Structures are given as structure tokens and as C-alpha cells.
Amino acid sequence: MLSLSTEVNELLSIAPEWEPVLKSAADEGQTRLFELLGRLGARAIYLKAISLTELRGRFLALIRDGYYHPLFEKMLQSNQNLRRFWAQRRVSAAEQRQHVLSLASDLSLKLEGVLARQLDRSAEDGYRVLLPAYLQRAVQNAAVDYIRQEWAWERQTLHDLNLDPNQEDPRQNVAEDLRHAPENLALSNEQVSQLNQLRSQLEQMINDPSYPREALVVIDCLFGLGLSEHSRTGSEMTMRECCDRLKIAGETPARRIARCQVLMDKGLDLIRQRLREKLPGLTECWQGELNVNVASRRELSQQIGMTEGEIDRLIKHRQYHSLDELVGRDVVKKARLPELASKGAVAAFVPVDINKATVRDLMDILGLSREAAQRAAAERPFERLAELADRGLLKPDELEQIIRRGAVARRKAADARRLDLNRAERSDLTAHGVPEAAAALLIRGRPFLTWAELEDYLGCEPATWAILRQKFCLGL
């Protein structure tokens, strides 16, 4: 028999009944743990994990390192959003590899935790968290978050967005790629199956007299589901059209639309509750995490099912470093925490930039009154938080409150620290690390209006290009 890796041998010591599968794989030259687990399939892996007690921790570690990690590496390497982002920023292959490994490790740990929660609940369809389609959605979310974080760093340090009006916002590229990326077209059979399950549940609800039909018919019309005589599949309606079609009562058009909004919220709440009861695996698959520190009232109510009283107390005491603090500050009872966590609630303390936050965020996250939030927004920007008190916009105790709740005042780095490429002397260019030949060529071709124009003209090495982007700006 072929010599096996330590991981495969350890897996077989936990699950000796899988040896015939290994032999079949070995006959075809496939002896890696990832290949073996891929042959076994999500259901077999999940059922084995449920049957384990003392060895479950080690089994999950093998799944994390031998299944999740290599699969995430493969998906991240082929992710079109990341590839485009790195190509535009001239990230070397070695550095790309480091980023992929880091993201894959983070995702593997996260999914190991998700799988452990499914096992603790003994969820019947918990195997879904092992399916490649589920993992692909996690990869896509991680890629989008990574790009947003990198873009935020660029704006705070390099300010390329302000200096180059022709530069594409990579977040827009992400939005465009979502429709065309090949990985999002793969494994569509599973997604279609989930959508069909969802449609079946909605059809049962709309025909069940125990449910308020009007609210569900509003959802049917707004989203073009074609489940009632009022809608047609694929033909979405505006709220005004929905009001006219369903003859929603109201003295004015505005009141009819407001009533339609209320019915829509009620219908969505009914659907969420039905899915949690009938299709918990599908809900777990689609439901993302919700940070209670920044979530809106509607998200807190509809996504994780908090009551109005709980929401009022939660907003009053923001922010939290962990969900346990919700109990310590008398926001919810301790028995409620597992339910909130199972619906995706998390508590991650985040800084709130007083110079960029919306009035609603100033009120709901930092706890300012509407009047104080509007005054602060009107007087921006602030160099430091103390200016809010110095200008009489906030009282000292209000200033202490917003600092405790995460307020910061981020200032732009002065562009004066970066030399203007269209005016810099040759000696300045070379002193900052630009090679003599590139400096001479650059001076002959000036002025440049955009970085893209400069790149096409100069055609320099990646190291030189990095110096230009980090230490210089284009003054127009």
C-alpha cells in the first residue's frame, strides 16, 4: 500500500471504516487528506463528526487543516476580485501568496467554529457548512472586506483617490465582478435548490389562511415572485405600483406608501421566522454576522429578533466588546445570548470617525441627541475631538460619552509631505529613490494628468513605481 501522510493515518485511526475509500483513492494516485475528504463528501464528514465525542476536537482540526484550508486557498487564488485588485496595485506573486495564506487561515478558523456550532445543535442539515458553494460565499465576503480595508488604508495614507480623478474605485470593480466572476457561476445547482426550497415555503405561506395574506402579497408583488394573482414572475413593482395594484388604503399617496412599507416589513419578518423554523440550515447558510455596535434598529429587530425594549437598552449603552456585556449592562437576560448568537449577533468595537459618520450613526452609535448630531455634522471637519467642547457643540460629559463609545477624529495626512511629480527637481526625485534614468525620462514627459498616463509613459520597474506612488503626488 502507498505510504500515507500523518494526517491521513490519524484520520483513519478516528474513522477506520473509511479505509476502503482511501484504498480506492490510492489506486488512482490520490492520497492527500484533501482528496480523501473530497471523495467522502460533506454528509459523510458531518455524520462522522456528530458520532464523535472525545475525538471530535481533533477531528475538527483535521477538517480545518486538511479540507477547509486547501479549499479556501484554491478559491482565493482564483477569485477575480482579488486578482484584479492585486494586478492594479502591482502586488508581487510572493506577496499575493502571503495574503492568500493569511485569508485562508482566518476563514478556516471561522468555518471550524461554524461547523462546531452546527454539531453542538445536532442540526440535521448542518453538513451545508462543508459544501463548496457555502464556502465560496464566505470567500467572496472575505475578498470584498479585504478590498474595502485596503482601499480605506490607501485613502488614509496615499490619497490616490483625491489625486487621480480617473482612478477606478476598486469597490466598484467588486460590484461589477459579482455578476461575472466564474466562481460565482459554479455549483449553481445547490443555490437553485435552496431558492426552490425558499419559493416552496413562500407559496405555502401565501396559501395558508393562518398567515396575514396582505403582508405576504405585498412581498410577492414587490419582488415579482408570481405566487399570487396580483404578480408576475420576474416583474418587480415599485411601492406606488404595489399600492395601486392591491388598492392599499390611505388618505394620501404618502400614507399609502407608508402602509405598504409597514406591510413589507411585517411580511419579511414572517418569512424570516418561517425559514428559521422550517429551513434552519438554509438560514444559517445565508445569514451573515451582525455587529450589534453598528446595526440599525431594523436590522436588530428583523435579523436577530430583538424586542423594542432590548434595542433601546442596547443603543443606550453602546459600544460593547463582547456579547456577554449585553447581560452585564442589563440589555438582555443571559438566557437570550445563545439565541442571539445563533442568529448571527456579534459584538466588535469599532471606531466612529466624527468627520465622516452620518447623523444617524452619531445618534445611534455615539448616543448624541438629534440636535447635537446635526450641529456636529454642520461644523465638520474637526482636527481633534476636544474642538466639539471648545466650540460649545457638546458639553464635557457628552464629549466623554462619545469618546467612551468609540468616537475618533481622523485627519488627512498633509499632501505637502508628498512632492509634486510635475514640479519636483531632478535632485528631489533621485533623493527619494527614483533611478537617474527614470527621473530624466519623467522630467522630459511632464506634465502628467493621471497616474495611468504616467504608467503608460514611464513603464518602470515595480520598485520604482511603488516609490512614485508612496512619496509623490500629481498636482494638476
* pLDDT of 218: 93
Strand ranges (E), 32-118: none
Query: Per-residue pLDDT for 117 more than 70?
Result: yes
Q: Cα–chain-centroid distance for residue 303?
A: 15
pLDDT cut 70: percent of the chain above it: 83
Mean per-residue pLDDT over the chain, rounded: 80
Cα 111 to Cα 115, 132, 159, 299, distances in angstroms: 6, 12, 35, 23
Report d(CA 444, CA 455) in Å as an integer: 14
Bridge partners, 472 (sequence order)? 419
Do 25 and 11 touch, CB atoms closer than 8 A?
no
H or E stretch covering 98: helix 93-121
Report d(CA 142, CA 144) in Å as an integer: 5
Report d(CA 368, CA 374) in Å as an integer: 9
Least confident of 13-17, 225-229, 383-387, 442-446: 442-446
Q: Where are the domains of the chain?
A: 41-183, 189-286, 290-346, 352-408, 415-473
Q: How confident is the model at residue 364 (pLDDT cuts 50, 70, 90)?
A: confident
Do 255 and 263 touch, CB atoms closer than 8 A?
no
* pLDDT of 417: 59
The pLDDT tens digits for 132-171 are: 878 888 888 888 888 877 776 666 555 444 444 455 555 5
- CATH tag for 415-473 (out of 1.10.1220, 2.20.200, 1.10.150, 3.40.50): 1.10.150
The pLDDT tens digits for 171-223 are: 555 544 444 344 344 334 455 566 677 888 888 999 899 999 999 999 999 88
Report d(CA 304, CA 273) in Å as an integer: 10
Do 107 and 138 touch, CB atoms closer than 8 A?
yes
Report d(CA 401, CA 407) in Å as an integer: 9
Rounded average pLDDT over 447-455: 73
